[in-house]
Amino acid sequence: MLVTAVVYNTLLRGIELPQGTTVAWSNEVLHVVGPALLLLDLLLAPRRRALPWRAVQVVVAVPVVWVAYTLVRGPLVTNPVTRVGHWYPYPFLDPSNPDLVPAGYAGVAVYVVGIALVIGLVAAGVVGVGRARA
C-alpha cells in the first residue's frame, strides 16, 4: 500500500480518467488515505510478532505475478470505455503508450523493474521496522 501511494502520487495523479470510470473520492481513499493509515499502523500500533526476512520475497512476487497476468491479458481484452482493442489498467503497462521511453515492452520493463525494486525496498523497510519494534 505504501508503494501504491508513491506510484499513484508520482505517476498517476494527474491522469484524467474518462467520465464514469470511477467516483472522484475513490482514488484518494485507495491511494492516499489507506496507505497513510497503514503507515501509522506500522509505526504506532502495538507490537506484533516480527515477520521473517523471506516475507520480502513474497511481497515482491505477488505484484510480479499480477504484472505477468496483466501483460498476457491486456491485448486480449477490449477497453470497456474507449472500445480500443486492448486494455491495461495503468498507462505505464501499455506497450502502445507513446510516452514510454524506451518504447514498447522495453519501456514497460523499465517501469516494472523500477517499481519491483521500490516494492522490495519498502518491504525490507517494513520488515526491518517490525523486527526492530518486536
Predicted pLDDT of residue 19: 62
Provide the grid cell at 38: 497503514
Contact 89, 29 (CB under 8 A): no
pTM of the model: 0.80
Cell reading at 17? 480518467
Residue 47 DSSP label: P
Chain segment 45-102, per-residue pLDDT in tens? 887 788 999 999 999 999 999 999 999 999 999 988 888 899 999 999 999 999 999 9
Per-residue pLDDT at 105 exceeds 90: yes
- DSSP 3-state of 81: coil
